[in-house]
Amino acid sequence: MGRKKLGNQSEAFIPGSKLLTNVTYSHWALAYALSLRGAQKLLKAEPLAKMIPVDEYIRIMYDQHPNQVWTQAFSERNVKVRTKAVNESL
């Protein structure tokens, strides 16, 4: 699993964790682990009917996409995303 965090936004740790953070805007969706509930939320929005790249779609669905025109195409943007904090310097 991995991603590229964009911008200088800080990401708060999940309460009780020193490794998991709430995700801000990022790219390069390398892999995702989805709960059944999360997968159902993603499918409910019918992404295939709107043909959008998965990297963009996932960010829209957890309401962290900068393009408001695209986000307005999906009314329920309530997917919760967590990630493991890693050293992101190259």
Q: Quote the pTM value.
A: 0.50
Q: Is 21 helix (H, G, I), strand (E, B) or coil?
A: strand
Mind listing the pLDDT tens digit for each residue in 24-82? 776 666 677 789 999 999 899 888 888 888 888 888 998 989 999 989 989 889 888 87
Inter-residue contact 81 to 62 (CB < 8 Å): yes
Alpha-carbon Rg for the chain in angstroms:
13
Report the alpha-carbon distance of residue 3 to residue 8 in Å, rounded.
Answer: 15
> Does 89 score more than 70 pLDDT?
no
The identity of residue 82, as a single letter, is: R
Residue 37's H or E segment, with its range, is helix 36-44
